[in-house]
Amino acid sequence: MKNFLQKPIVKKILIVFAAVIVFLILFDKLLLPWYVSSPEAEVPSVIGLTESAAYERLEDADFEPVISDTTFDAKYAKGVIVFQNPEASTVVKIGRRVHLYLSGGEPVVRVPSLKGKSLRDAKLSLERIGLKLGLVEEVPSGNPRNMIFDQQYAMGTPLKKGEFVGVTLSIGQESGTIIVPDLIGKSLVEVQKILADSALVIGKINYQRSFSLLPNTILDQYPSKGTKLNPGGAVDLFITKTAETGEEQEKLE
C-alpha cells in the first residue's frame, strides 16, 4: 500500500483532490457568505449617453462598465449607448459588470457591382439592399448596347440606405459622323433639302391621316435627331396625308 501511494500519478491525484476540498471549504465558509451579504443597488440608465458619460455614471454607482458590441441604429447618433445589460432599474450586486452596446449611426450598405448589367437588373440589385438607381448617362462605347459599363460608386462603397447610385449606360458604337437633324414639324419639301445638304437621303415614308395638320408634314422620324449616320444614310419619315371626306365628316360629328 505504501508503494502504491508513493507513485507519482497517485501523488498528483491526491494533491488535486486536496486542493479541491480546500477550495470548496473556502468557498462555503468565506466566498459564498461574502457574496450573499454584499450590498445591492439599482443599475442606472445610460441609454442615450455617450460612452464617456455612461462610464462615469456607472462607475459612480460602483458598477463596472464594459463595451460589448457596436450596432447600427438610425434613432441614435454614432457613439451613443443604445442598449445595456442588465437593464436600468435592475437590482444587482455592487461591482457587477454592465455590458454596453454603442450605436454605429445610420445603417449602411455596400454598393454592389452593376457593371455588365441592364438597367432593370441594376435597379433590382440596388432596391434589394435599400439603394436607388440615380442618374443614367448614355454614352457611345465599344460595349454592348444597353449595358452598364461604369458606376458612380465603386463596388463595396458604404452608403446610407435610400441613397442614389448613378450609372453609365452604353448605347453602342456610333455608326457614322453625320448628325441627323430635327425634321419633325417640317414639310416634306423642306426635309428633302435639309437631308440633301447633310449628305443624307429619305428612307421609307409612312403616311398617316391628320385632321389638323397640313398634308406632307413630318410627324416623326427614325433615326431620331442627334443620331449619327454615315454619308448616304437613310432617314425614315412619318408624314401626314389629307383625311378622306367620309373621315372628315365622321370627325366633325
Of 61 and 12, which is predicted with more confidence? 61
pLDDT in tens, 14-53: 677 777 776 666 655 655 555 555 688 999 999 999 999 9
pLDDT in tens, 92-126: 999 999 999 999 888 889 999 999 999 999 999 99
Mean pLDDT (whole number) for 211-226: 88
Mean pLDDT (whole number) for 224-249: 76
Q: Which of 57, 46, 48, 45 is nearest to 80 (CA)?
A: 48
Whether the bond between 86 and the residue before it is cis, its omega within 30 degrees of 0, is: yes
Q: In whole angstroms, what is the distance from residue 236 CA to residue 243 CA?
A: 22
* Contacts for 19 with CB less than 8 Å, ≥ 6 apart: none
Mean pLDDT (whole number) for 146-162: 93
Of 217 and 13, which is predicted with more confidence? 217
Q: In whole angstroms, what is the distance from residue 70 CA to residue 209 CA?
A: 69
Q: In whole angstroms, what is the distance from residue 186 CA to residue 184 CA?
A: 6
Alpha helices in the chain, H assignment, sequence order = 2-5, 8-26, 32-37, 51-60, 119-128, 188-197, 245-252
| The dihedral formed by the CA atoms of 91, 94, 99 and 100, expressed in degrees to the nearest 10 | 80
* Dihedral sign of CA atoms 240, 242, 246, 249 in order: positive
* Contacts for 131 with CB less than 8 Å, ≥ 6 apart: 109, 111, 159, 161, 162, 163, 164, 165
202 and 191 Cβ atoms separated by less than 8 Å: yes
pLDDT in tens, 64-78: 999 998 888 778 888
- In DSSP terms, which residues pair with 159 in a beta bridge? 109
- Whether the pTM exceeds 0.85: the reply is no
